[in-house]
Amino acid sequence: MKEKLIKTMDLKNGMQLKFYDNSRKLAGDRWLISLIVRMEIPVTEVLINDGHKSIEIVNEIKKVLGENILFEQKRERIFVAQSEKQAVFEEVYDFFIDSVLGYLSNKAFPKRYVLKKYREKVAKKSWYH
């Protein structure tokens, strides 16, 4: 089964989460239950709206990361019976909503994520050279 968009959610911080069902049959009546959550974060918009970054710094970060970066998380359960497939998927979805949604909705999350990814990429690049 190809991943299927099941829900789009607008967050309080202006970002948008997209939920995908990427579940697939493994063997017999057993399934891999897979929820993928993605958020596209516009680098320039997030940093400029923060108001603390000079345009030179924003341009440097954008040069390293590009216009947008993708936040993605997967939640999976393996070897689930066909008869339990829907209930387990809903459980995985509900657990994600209960445990992570507040954090992702925080106003500071997009900027923090952009800066984290920038630091990681710069550190990786300096390590290779």
User: Which pLDDT tens digit goes with each residue over 50-89?
Assistant: 665 688 889 999 999 999 999 999 999 999 999 999 999 9
pLDDT at 68: 97
pLDDT at 127: 66
Average pLDDT score over residue span 37-59: 86
DSSP 5: E
Q: Cβ(44)–Cβ(62) under 8 Å? A: yes
Average pLDDT score over residue span 30-56: 89
Q: Is the pLDDT of residue 128 over 70?
A: no
pLDDT at 15: 97
Q: How far apart are CA 90 and CA 6, in angstroms?
A: 12
For the chain, the domain total comes to 1
Q: How far apart are CA 118 and CA 63, in angstroms?
A: 10
Q: Cβ(49)–Cβ(123) under 8 Å? A: no
Q: How far apart are CA 29 and CA 4, in angstroms?
A: 20
Average pLDDT score over residue span 7-15: 97
**Residue 107 CB-half CA count within 13 A:** 2
Which residues form the domain of 32? 4-128
The partner residues of 30 in beta bridges, in order of sequence, read 27, 81
Q: Is the pLDDT of residue 16 over 90?
A: yes
Query: What is the model's pTM?
Result: 0.89
Q: Cβ(46)–Cβ(61) under 8 Å? A: no
Mean per-residue pLDDT over the chain, rounded: 93
pLDDT at 125: 78
